Amino acid sequence: MTSSPSLLDHPLVEELLQRQHEEQRSRLCGQCAERGGQAAASGTCTECSTDLCNVCIQTFDNYCDTCNTLGCGECILSAHRSHQSCTLLAKDAEVKETLKTRLAGMR
C-alpha cells in the first residue's frame, strides 16, 4: 500500500502558498518591517523594489540629485553614495525656497 503524495500536499508548500497569498493581500512596508513595525505599503523603491509606506517615503527615503531619482535610504547610501543626495523633505524645502526667491524676484 504505497501512496504517492503530490507535491502540493506537502505541508511546506502549503505554508508557502499561504504566505504568498497573505503577501498579495496586504503589501507591507519593508523598511518598517525591518524595524519590527507594520505599515501598509503605498509605494515602491525604484531601485530595489522594496515596498515602502507613506512615512518611510517622506522621512527615510532619499532623493538623488545626480540621477534625479528617489530611492530608499539603503539604495541611496549604497548605489548613490558618491552622488549628490538629500532627503525628500530637504528637497521639498529646497524647491519651495527656489520658488519663493523666483516669486520675490518677479516683483
Residues in contact with Zn ion by CB under 5 A are 29, 31-32, 39, 45, 47-48, 50, 53, 56, 64, 66-67, 71-72, 75, 80, 83
Please, are residues 89 and 58 in contact by the beta-carbon 8 Å criterion? Answer: yes
- Smallest distance, Å, CB 105 to Zn ion? 30
Cβ nearer to Zn ion, comparing 10 with 35 = 35
Output 3 or 68, the one with its CB closest to Zn ion. Answer: 68
In terms of Cβ atoms closer than 10 Å to its own Cβ (0-12, 13-18, 19+), residue 41 is: buried
All three cell numbers of 74, joined, read 539603503
The Cα 93–Cα 74 span in angstroms is 22
Our CB check for Zn ion shows the closer of 34 and 97 to be: 34
Closest distance of CB 102 from Zn ion, Å: 26
